[in-house]
Chain A
Amino acid sequence: MNDLKYTREHEWVRMEGDVAVIGISAFAQEALGDVVFVELPEIGKSLKAGDQAAVVESVKAASEVYAPLAGEVVGVNEALNDDPSTVNSDPTGKGWFLKMKPSNPADFEALMDEADYRKFAEEQG
């Protein structure tokens, strides 16, 4: 799992070739509780780092998922529309949200690694 990088907004990113796969962390899904709905972006949309990329809604709360890095949306996980619970059961695997083609692949390296994120999340919560 150490191929994942994280943001302070609790998104994770994994590079698959030159494509960034993005989802929300296990910590985030735990905090949200049962996820009931996910709103995904349109393919082809350009996002800056920090732009709203998706919305995730649980019984308790709804919150934004932000683009961890700048780039273009090249894929979304349609399966979440039918079964949003995947975000709870497999947040960093089948529960991914979107794929982006980063405009600057080096941005990935600037994100937190697993150990830093774990420390950050513990402080949060």
Chain B
Amino acid sequence: MAEGETITGNRALQIEEPLLFEMDAPGQCGVDLPDSGPFEDRLGGLERRNPVGLPGLSEPRVIRHFTRLSQKNYAIDAGIFPLGSCTMKHNPRLNERLARLPGFAQLHPMQPESTVQGALALIDTLADWLRTLTGMPAVAMSPAAGAHGELCGTMVIRAALDARGEKRSTVLVPDSAHGTNPATAAMCGYAVEPIPSNARGRVDLALLKERLDDDVAAFMLTNPSTCGLFEDEILEQAEAVHAAGAYFYCDGANFNAIAGRVRPGDLGIDCMHLNLHKTFSTPHGGGGPGSGPVMLSEALAPFAPLPWLVHGAEGLRLVERAEGEAARAIGRLKSFHGQFGMFVRALAYMMSHGGDGIRQASEDAVLSANYVLAGLEDVMSLSYPGPCMHEMLFDDRFLKGTGIATLDFAKAMIDEGLHPMTVYFPLVVHGAMLIEPTESESRQSLDVFIRVMRALAERAKGGDTAWFTGAPRLAPRRRLDETTAARQPVLRWLPEEASAEKAAE
């Protein structure tokens, strides 16, 4: 056997793990349930006739399975996770503990309102913090995540325009906008039109003004932008948008750079979704669940989705029907009352930081990003001059002629124990590398990051192409074949005989 190879294929702490279904030990079970006893069923003859096909496993086997899987994941708990525009900051464990208090976690969403006044007060308190931080008068709490919040905001704008009796058909989106914008607009019957950036990486104000007319429903800005820049002409943008009778939508994905220092309401924003899982530290959980409350101006508030939380004579109550004060609501976007478990976590984070700490966190995020920028700008190619906000954008000019692409550079970071930055986004520059260190990192951690990135950049320029194109070598897996995965999709486990049959087809 060659050095490094093992009998099992395992590598010490990295243990190869089969699928649950490949470990089936019929008769084993990871739970003990009481016997149902005799009863006469009321299934009307609709009893299941066939086995489900689930594997039988004991509790220790299940724990071991998922523990081994967990060891194949990178996570913020393990190291710096500088994914630009994703805000991978520390997830406090206090938040987890509080979300699990039985008085929150074990509340049924359809309990009578009199039995959930504490939960409703929590939502109301969180809404207050959000209103204060944004300087915007209303908030829709139910959207499930950022993209859902964007859908909500766009629908609210559409409803408001409908109520004004205006038929507008275009939403203007800067070419550096966050990824999900066009999908959302299309669902509300709007066509998306890009507004190019200027040489400074900001929205070209002259082009924006030129394009604004009575066919434009909204301008959807991301500020700070995905180039890591504050839109320094945002007040002029707002004025122009409003002069055209359109609404000013802001994607709040990057609110974490300015929270506590700048209020979007003061910038002329009419509508903005926030990502509680970005700015307010609720965990990303490997891809959800998130939470995407939407801040609304006075003019848009009447169209907020159901349910509404209102103060009544007998305490807080939920308005679950589009009638009375909520007659113009766009309807429901989600079951029940939103991502309540995420509300608990976000509020715990806000209370821990306080108004002073939220501001400090924003400043530290911006300072850390600028520190990294200063540490790297001479060896990598910065797309736009600083200072940056909470993230900075590099492109692949520094790799020109090396045969190394942005992706290769990212994969080499993996071997160094760093999670790569966001790559190939935004689309406004070639081979984008968007780095967001967040306020959670210590200076030592930032120094290590800078040192490794510098060394990799030097190595790349030195022509060691194979080092990069062959990376990663030390991760649980090397590069995966995405073409085969998409050409012959295998999307579930099948029993061996079924797999063989399928292959023979």
Contacts and interface: CB of A to CB of B under 8 A. Distances in A.
A29 interface: no
Interface residues of B toward A: which range?
Answer: under 10
Nearest to A34: B483
A69 B3 CA distance: 62
B210 interface: no
A59 B488 CA distance: 12
A58 to B, nearest CB: 8
Interface string A34-57: 101100000000000000000001
Contacts of A57: 486
Contacts of A84: 487
Interface string A8-44: 0000000000000000000000000010110000000
Contacts, number: 14
Interface in A46-99: 57, 59, 84-85
A85 B484 CA distance: 10
A34 B483 CA distance: 6
A34 B484 CA distance: 9
B479 to A, nearest CB: 13
A57 B487 CA distance: 10
Contacts of A85: 487
Contacts of B483: 34, 36, 59
B170 to A, nearest CB: 20
Interface residues of A, number: 7
Contacts of B486: 34, 36-37, 57, 59
A59 B482 CA distance: 7
Contacts of B482: 59
Nearest to B483: A34
Interface in B464-505: 482-483, 486-487
A37 B488 CA distance: 9
A34 B481 CA distance: 11
A117 to B, nearest CB: 24
B485 to A, nearest CB: 9
B169 to A, nearest CB: 19
Contacts of A37: 486-487
B250 to A, nearest CB: 27
B96 to A, nearest CB: 37
A59 B487 CA distance: 9
Interface of A: 34, 36-37, 57, 59, 84-85
Interface of B: 482-483, 486-487
14 contacts: A34-B483, A34-B486, A34-B487, A36-B483, A36-B486, A36-B487, A37-B486, A37-B487, A57-B486, A59-B482, A59-B483, A59-B486, A84-B487, A85-B487
Given A59-B482, A59-B486, 12 more contacts: A34-B483, A34-B486, A34-B487, A36-B483, A36-B486, A36-B487, A37-B486, A37-B487, A57-B486, A59-B483, A84-B487, A85-B487
In the A-B complex, list the 3 residue pairs whose CB atoms are closest, starting with the nearest: A36-B486, A34-B483, A36-B487
